[in-house]
Structure 1
Amino acid sequence: MERIVFTAKHEELLLQIPLFKDLSPKVQHSLLERLDCAVYNIKKNDIIARQDSPCRELMVLLEGKLKVDIIDALCNEVLIEHIIAPRAFATPHLFKADTTLPATFKATEDGVLLKATKDSVFKLISEFPDLLKSFLCVAGNCNKCTVLRLRALSYKNIRSRFVAYLFEQKLVDNNIVHIDHNQAQLADYICVTRPALTKEISKMAKEGLILMKGKTVELLNIPELRKAIL
């Protein structure tokens, strides 16, 4: 990684991340003035942080994309998610008693990374309750995403994993699900091959269980779909 100058463009991107975007202008100004940080150019395939290493800094991807993987007990590489800038990552682990990172973060394209010292982040959080609230919300959402991802992978067949994924995305009292991935990304996400996933989706459509157009899926028979994950 090559350190670069922290520019006005980087400041603008930093204030767009969920952790900071809803803060008042006063808090955002203090953040930019007092956050002890450094900015780096990162290259495709750079390892940004490794599984089992300590989380010592707040890390924010300002530009680019990261792939997040874990190595499970059987030494299998399991995709957890893709991180798209601008976004902070590994946030829940910064202030835990055990700061060990559970995953490896790898750049899938060139980008820009910001690192802020733990002490400067802690001082700002201690002073501004709104920032503390935002930090706790982001940390909670990160943990929830990881739990849901691993829950989907606990199922053994393609249909069960796909249905579990759909129900994770489903809103209450709404049979229309808007998913975050295209079929290639989704196959990678639930650790199956794309042809096998495409075949299963086609089969489910013929059975009258779902209707899928692009990234929109209509759940036509929820009771039958639930049987796949019972």
Structure 2
Amino acid sequence: MKKIQLTDSHKEKLFQIPLFRDLPLNIKESLLEKLDFVIYAANKKEIVVTQGTPCNKLFVLLEGKLRTDIIDGLGNEVMIEYIIAPRTFATPHLFNSNNTLPATFTALEDSVILMATKDSTFKVISQDPQVLHNFLCIAGNCNICTVSRLKPLSRKTVRERFIVYLYEHKKKDSLVVDIMHTQSQLAEYLNVSRPALSKEINKMMKEGLVIMEGKRIEILDKTTLEKYL
């Protein structure tokens, strides 16, 4: 990665992230003065940070898209999520007693990342109640997301993983799920092969459990599906 200059566009995106959103103008101006940061440009497929390294920076993806992968206990690479700008990532690990990064973050396209020092980030958070509140909300939401992500991976069969995924992503009182992944990405997300996932979805459609059109899935037999949860 190479260092680049902070632009007005970068500033605008920085203040769109939940951590710094809706702050008064004077706080925004002082924040940039207090925060000790560097802006990096990452090329497509370039590794931004690697699993197992200490998290000593606040990471903010200002532009682009990252892929998050972990290496499990068996040495398998498991895709966790895609991170789309503007967004912080690995935030809860910054002030954790064990601040080792649990995943590797790789640029899926040309991206821009802000990295701020731990000390300056702490200074900003501790001096403004709104930023502190935002940080605590982000940390809590990240924990919820982690639990949600691990649920399908804890299941053994392709069908179980797919059904858990559907229920984790469907809105309350809705039987329609709009998924963000292509079928190849979804297979990777569920840590199964694409042919196995495609075969299972086709079986479920023939059994009258779901209908799938593109990225939209409609649950037809809620009672049967919920037996797998």
Q: 1:41 is paired with a residue of what secondary structure?
A: strand
Q: 1:228 is paired with a residue of what secondary structure?
A: coil
Matched, 1:151 2:122: no
- TM-superposed CA distance for 1:21, in Å, is 2.4
Q: Partner residue of 1:38?
A: 38
Q: 2:161 is paired with a residue of what secondary structure?
A: helix
Counterpart contact for 2:38–2:115, Cα < 8 Å: yes
1:32 maps to a residue whose letter is L
2:38 and 2:176 map into 1 onto residues whose CA distance is 43
- Name structure 2 gaps, 5 residues minimum: none
- Name structure 1 gaps, 5 residues minimum: none
CA offsets per residue over residues 48-101 of structure 1, 9 Å max, x none? 111111100101111122111111111111111111221110000011111111
Counterpart contact for 2:34–2:123, Cα < 8 Å: no
Matched, 1:74 2:55: no
Change (3 A) 1:25 1:215: farther
Q: 2:61 is paired with a residue of what secondary structure?
A: strand
Q: Report matched runs for 1:110-189 at 5 Å.
A: 110-189=110-189
Matched, 1:50 2:72: no
2:155 maps to a residue whose letter is Y
- TM-superposed CA distance for 1:132, in Å, is 1.1
Q: Which moved more, 1:211-220 or 1:73-82?
A: 211-220
Matched, 1:22 2:41: no
CA offsets per residue over residues 138-193 of structure 1, 9 Å max, x none? 12222222222222111111111110101111222222222222222111111122
- TM-superposed CA distance for 1:196, in Å, is 2.3
2:122 and 2:23 map into 1 onto residues whose CA distance is 16
- TM-superposed CA distance for 1:28, in Å, is 2.8
Q: 1:136 is paired with a residue of what secondary structure?
A: helix
**TM, length-normalised to structure 1:** 0.93
- TM-superposed CA distance for 1:110, in Å, is 1.8
Query: Percent identity among equivalent residues?
Result: 57
1:25 and 1:157 map into 2 onto residues whose CA distance is 52
Q: Which moved more, 1:49-58 or 1:187-196?
A: 187-196
Q: Partner residue of 1:196?
A: 196
Counterpart contact for 2:67–2:106, Cα < 8 Å: yes
Q: 2:100 is paired with a residue of what secondary structure?
A: coil
Q: Partner residue of 1:213?
A: 213
Q: Which moved more, 1:180-189 or 1:24-33?
A: 24-33
Counterpart contact for 2:61–2:88, Cα < 8 Å: yes
2:223 and 2:22 map into 1 onto residues whose CA distance is 39
2:21 and 2:184 map into 1 onto residues whose CA distance is 31
1:23 and 1:214 map into 2 onto residues whose CA distance is 40
- TM-superposed CA distance for 1:20, in Å, is 2.0
- TM-superposed CA distance for 1:16, in Å, is 1.8
Taking only aligned residues, the RMSD between alpha carbons, in angstroms, comes to 1.6
